[in-house]
Structure 1
Amino acid sequence: MLDFSHIPVVDAHAHPFVPTREKADYSYAYSMCVHKGFGDFRYLTSYRMALQEYKRLFQLPNDASEIQVVELRNRTAQEDYKSFVKLLYEDAGIEAMISDFGFPITGEGLTADEFKVFEDAAGPVCDIYDMIRIETTCDRYLYRYDMSFEDMINAFDSYVEEHVRTHKTVGIKTVVGYYTGIKWEAVSYEKAKKNFESAYRGKYLPGREDKAFRDYMVYHGLELAEKYRIAFQIHTGVGDPPACDLRLMNPNDLYELLNTGLASKTKIVIVHAGFPYGYEAAFLAANYPGVYTDISSTVSYLGRAVEGEFRKILDVCPHNKIMFGSDGGGYADQSWFAANYFKRVLSEVLQEYVTDGCFTETYANKIGKMILHDNAVRVYQL
């Protein structure tokens, strides 16, 4: 059997984690749902799999109860959070993460003290790289009610320039598809200005009244990614239910954007493997030189979905364009669980392909290392 347990990991899609943002009910860690008071998470396959992973880590008997596992996990984290993070990341072999500091989307942003807790805990055990989120930057860090459209664009450009100069910034990203869909129009400056002045209020509007401004910022973000020679991430498929309308999140809707001259100059990463539209995401990466994909979310929150989705991606997408990502955020555990689980998936699936005569064992080992580590290092210039 192929074995990738020793391969160092780059988590190419993650978020900060801090104990102050953990829910009292630990089962929330393995669902993307943002419904308040939703009580069914402990019946998720992903949650149950994570409990089993903790039994391995803590050398607990298989019949240890859910309460025993969670209490030991919480006690270990509370007694020494830095040591807890070190334990997890060394166990999974995570050596670097690309962290979206715009997390969380809803509610108040992380405080300076919370960022320090995250950096103090994660920094000693892995390299942390930054990703600028367009919408959070506009809404949380820049917008004022007296701001003109010109002020917003100038402030955004200055923010990106400063961030690239002072941080280990490897990309710009958009998540606005969860609120407007990803079929974006190349909006004119004047149309965006008019929409900004009439509709934009520094927060997501459920009726999508500010879509023209949001569309403009996606294309403008692409321009800045090309200017600074960094990657551009696009959230597709599942995320942030119930806000996300999956009918509007198929990577096929990126057709107009990907066929612009601007997109051809930029490395574009389709995140979440477009789930449940894995074939579509893989096909785009296979036919556009600058398009890549990661398998995040499918490996952290969706039970064993990655086992089927990864086969779709593996069959259609060039292997040097696939990256591991966890979409972990809020809890250190998510990246740890995802990395360990996905290493086993890689071993099992690639061994099957070797047994069936699709790959040599040498090439299968190369694929595993590329997906877990090398592709992200190259695409994001780590």
Structure 2
Amino acid sequence: MSTSNRRKFIATASLASLSVAGVKGMSTSTDNPIHKGEEMLDLTDFPVIDHHHHEYSLDAMKSPDPARFTSMFYHGERNDGYKADGPSGMSKALNTHIANTGVVLATVSELSRLFGCADNLETVVAERYRRIMADAAGYTKMLYSKAKIEAIVLDDREGTPPLIPTKIYRLVPNDKIFKECLKTCDNIETFRKTFITKIEEKLSDKEYIAVKSHVGEQTGLDVEELSFSAYQAAYQSARLGDVEAWKKIYRLSFIDLTHYCCEKGVPIHIHTGTTGDMRSVLPINQTLDPLLLAPYLKRPELRRLKIVLLHGGHPWVQHAALMAYNFPNVYLDLSWMFPWNVLGLKNLFHDVLTIAPVSKIFYGGGCHSGPETAYMGATVLKKVVGDVLSELVKDQFLTFGQANEIAHMILHKNAETYYNL
């Protein structure tokens, strides 16, 4: 497909999505004509809700070692058979390779401009370390303030993270509750009741707005329901650590969770795609492709189940977008894609816009280990979304008013509407 035809196809799909969604306040070309010089969107001051965020600690940030800094952007295998070199726990060769990944190179570029220092890893990390040691809370607040991150959805964790300087909403930690119940409940009937009771108790706290599940990593996304007698037979073996029995009981808990959340109208966030980690003990092509969820979600009793596919299903981005298009209650979160796939994000974002309704897209940064990932995610988001939408305005497939509204939707409005924030 030529570039011109590809743009037309993207624009047609995007406009169709907006028409179906009935977005409030959307301008028409008659109401808001495009003026020369107005086509470029500047999203710098747009507020952001980071839909998928992890906690980090000051201890993890207090390292002047460049390899320790770059390792927070790496999810792959860390043992290449050679001696570890420094606090990252990885070899010198692997540290070098990680320092040359796109996300690290882009982060060094961005932080060098922010800090006003030379654009090399060593200088940037040294300046970061100086700022953290002088005032870690102030440094973190500066990053979130500059990126306009006004709220985050925090993946599990309890208590108030000391360094996150913004409004916090939370996900119920399904896996933690599952493991606790499996350990303490001596029969399957008690396990099932206790599991749902503990989920319900967490959700009674209004900070918790959804439940997080790792069903893909733990058992695969091709969810299959067994007979109750099969679960009974597996339960005690699962408690003793039998892997296959454990998977069966985890899937049973997921099935119970989906029915409960469907009844209560509670969204479930599900890891899809590689999430940067190919170390799963399961065959990756059988476990985390979001299309594998389709047969289970087609069940009539689950039509109202609210599902959010995390990480854009990367590298199956089109599959994840297709799920959001085909299932009315499936939404798409783009965390980990921002900022990890920064050098190719425009193409990936085009793929998402081609298929998924823009009213069903959430931004997330997948932040962990340090605040720079949150800052970079939001900064990259604004550049990529702004550039792609501006291109569509320039080609007259969207008006400036439509593009402006779409940007607000993805950056914060969709999350506000979905969770009634």
TM-score bracket relative to the smaller structure: 0.7 to 0.9
The answer as to 2:265 corresponding to 1:229 is yes
Q: Deviations over 1:32-54 (max 9, x none)?
A: 23635443321211011111111
- How far, CA to CA, are the matches of 1:11 and 1:27 in structure 2? 22
Which residue pairs with 1:28 in the alignment?
Answer: 71
Gaps of 5+ in 2: 1-39, 80-88
The answer as to 2:74 corresponding to 1:53 is no
Which residue pairs with 2:18 in the alignment?
Answer: none
- How far, CA to CA, are the matches of 2:404 and 2:121 in structure 1? 36
Preserved contact between residue 154 and residue 171 of structure 2 (Cα < 8 Å): yes
The CA deviation at 1:274 is 0.7
Q: Which segment is superposed worse, 93-102 or 17-26?
A: 17-26
- How far, CA to CA, are the matches of 1:34 and 1:127 in structure 2? 34
Preserved contact between residue 346 and residue 368 of structure 1 (Cα < 8 Å): yes
The answer as to 2:171 corresponding to 1:135 is no
Preserved contact between residue 174 and residue 199 of structure 2 (Cα < 8 Å): no
2:355 paired residue among 309, 316, 322: 316
The answer as to 2:312 corresponding to 1:273 is yes
Which residue pairs with 1:41 in the alignment?
Answer: 98
* Aligned-CA RMSD value: 2.1
The CA deviation at 1:96 is 0.7
Which residue pairs with 2:146 in the alignment?
Answer: 91
Report the 3-state secondary structure (helix = DSSP H, G, I; strand = E; otherwise coil) of the residue aligned with 2:337: coil
Which residue pairs with 2:289 in the alignment?
Answer: 250
Which amino acid is 2:107 matched to?
A
Report the 3-state secondary structure (helix = DSSP H, G, I; strand = E; otherwise coil) of the residue aligned with 1:304: helix
Q: Deviations over 1:275-326 (max 9, x none)?
A: 1111111111111111110111111323423222111111111110011011
Report the 3-state secondary structure (helix = DSSP H, G, I; strand = E; otherwise coil) of the residue aligned with 2:368: coil
Q: Deviations over 1:75-123 (max 9, x none)?
A: 2223322212211100110011111115xxxxxxxxx7xx54x2x322x
Which residue pairs with 2:120 in the alignment?
Answer: 65
Q: Please identify the structure whose Cα radius of gyration is greater.
A: 2
Which amino acid is 1:56 matched to?
R
- How far, CA to CA, are the matches of 2:407 and 2:388 in structure 1? 10
Which residue pairs with 1:126 in the alignment?
Answer: 166
Q: Deviations over 1:329-357 (max 9, x none)?
A: 22222111100011000111111111222
> Aligned residues: percent identity?
25
Q: Deviations over 1:168-224 (max 9, x none)?
A: 11111211312322111123443223222223457xx7x644222121122222123
Q: Which segment is superposed worse, 317-326 or 303-312?
A: 303-312
Which residue pairs with 1:295 in the alignment?
Answer: 334
Q: 1:344 to 1:155 in 2, by over 3 A?
A: same
Preserved contact between residue 35 and residue 241 of structure 1 (Cα < 8 Å): no
Which amino acid is 2:333 matched to?
D
Report the 3-state secondary structure (helix = DSSP H, G, I; strand = E; otherwise coil) of the residue aligned with 1:254: helix
- How far, CA to CA, are the matches of 2:72 and 2:403 in structure 1? 32
The answer as to 2:193 corresponding to 1:154 is yes
Preserved contact between residue 296 and residue 327 of structure 1 (Cα < 8 Å): yes
TM-score normalized by the length of structure 1: 0.88
Which residue pairs with 1:106 in the alignment?
Answer: none
Q: Map of 1:104-115 to 2, 5 A cutoff?
A: 115=159
Gaps of 5+ in 1: 103-111
- How far, CA to CA, are the matches of 1:324 and 1:89 in structure 2? 15
Which residue pairs with 2:382 in the alignment?
Answer: 343
Preserved contact between residue 299 and residue 305 of structure 1 (Cα < 8 Å): no
- How far, CA to CA, are the matches of 2:207 and 2:355 in structure 1? 32
The CA deviation at 1:255 is 1.4
- How far, CA to CA, are the matches of 1:254 and 1:312 in structure 2? 20
- How far, CA to CA, are the matches of 2:412 and 2:258 in structure 1? 25
- How far, CA to CA, are the matches of 2:262 and 2:206 in structure 1? 18
